[in-house]
Structure 1
């Protein structure tokens, strides 16, 4: 994805650079698209329901992204105003985009966690994840430095928008199929524990982030 979306002409002329991941790459969008493709092929081969499995994994996927983003070393743009939560890198006060996205992803995790017993059709929870994550990334992208398509929108904005549109169309299609068996029953106490735990993880992630930087 990084190769195709960011600078295809350069990588076509320098194909060896495709494998030099120490210089960048490994975009989350590319990983997500590849993982979905692999999961579709695997579940079809095993004669499993892709959408039911996707719903099962959706909360865990975004939780992993929330935790993993804390350790990302891609910082944001320079702050125009010196806010106390900025991080100083090379004598510049930068937006801590890692923690922005981490917090947004934790919030999305909490939303998905609480909606597990309220979905109406297979795939709904996973599609909520795709739309929610794309929205989160779109917001954070305004504070990152990536190649522009039309200022201030980057290629990541475009990709996120495409994912959201596709997810909405698929959502309409799946809703009409009415294929769903709701086997999940979750009491209010379970949801409360999950919400408190999520808040604790947000606080812990912020503490770890500022301890590192």
Structure 2
């Protein structure tokens, strides 16, 4: 790792002519940690480990494609002039919302083929997904992207940030708001809350952990996205802000509807068991 001039080298190491970026290393480690935690929880909820391994094999490549497609669609004015740029993912340009939507589509199809409750599967992986998102934002930190507006060195110092974060926010002599850090903290806080609450009896019914995750993430993302300067725009708001509003409202409505109009939904702690009534 190169710390010259206070800036972290985005290249972790090289294998022959292949350069491995820290962004990929961080994302890879985040996915592996999320998978490990999901498998551990799945055993308690009667979901075989193989189901998680099979799902990740399908979801990862399709999530990457959808994350890139999401970005390209809203930046088409740029990419239409040189279609070869569409494939140059290593130059940046993937959207987490696009990846999540792609992974969700794969999950619904996967669970239907496996005859497994998609709601239960989503409940199990939701805390691990938001943890992976929080860790993944440090890849943006290494790449000096997903930042906010120009700020002063004194402002960053006032946040009591470590020196290496402050210096990495120095891009070509200008300091920027560390919005990557705000989202990382928000995501990890959401992970901690979900992990502390999800094993409490008679708290979450099936699907409610996932919907809580959606509401939590989209609420924070709306405000943090508003601070960023590199976001995709759609009218007066950023694309991710519009989507955050839709997801937040949708999650709250679904939470209320399923709780009050579908009272026989099984509790999350019942796991992969169909039944009606109270958790024994």
Q: TM-score range by the shorter chain?
A: 0.7 to 0.9
Q: Distance in 2 between matches of 1:174 and 1:18?
A: 41
Residue 154 (structure 1) aligns with: 238
Q: SS state of the match for residue 174, structure 1?
A: helix
Q: Distance in 1 between matches of 2:253 and 2:238?
A: 23
Q: Which residue among 174, 178, 181 is the counterpart of 2:267?
A: 181
Which runs of 5 or more structure 1 residues have no equivalent in the other structure? 185-213
Q: Distance in 2 between matches of 1:13 and 1:48?
A: 44
Contact 1:82 1:93 in 2 (8 A): no
Residue 72 (structure 2) aligns with: 3
Q: Distance in 2 between matches of 1:10 and 1:27?
A: 16
Map 1:126-205 → 2, pairs under 5 A: 126-145=210-229, 146-151=231-236, 153-175=237-259, 176-178=261-263, 179-183=265-269
Residue 190 (structure 1) aligns with: none
Moved more, 29-38 or 87-96: 87-96
Q: Distance in 1 between matches of 2:177 and 2:81?
A: 34
**Alignment TM-score, normalising by the size of structure 1:** 0.76
Q: Distance in 2 between matches of 1:120 and 1:98?
A: 30
**Alignment TM-score, normalising by the size of structure 2:** 0.59
Shift in Å at residue 156 of structure 1?
Answer: 1.3
Larger Rg: 2
Map 1:23-102 → 2, pairs under 5 A: 23-72=91-140, 73=143, 74=145, 75-79=147-151, 82-83=154-155, 84=157, 85=161, 86=166, 87-102=169-184
Contact 1:97 1:140 in 2 (8 A): yes
Q: SS state of the match for residue 109, structure 2?
A: helix
Q: Distance in 2 between matches of 1:143 and 1:62?
A: 20
2:189 paired with 1:107:
yes
Q: SS state of the match for residue 139, structure 2?
A: coil
Give a deviation string over 1:80-116, Cα, whole Å, max 9, x none: 6831145322110111111111111111111111220
Q: Distance in 2 between matches of 1:114 and 1:42?
A: 28
Q: Distance in 1 between matches of 2:269 and 2:96?
A: 31
Shift in Å at residue 120 of structure 1?
Answer: 3.4
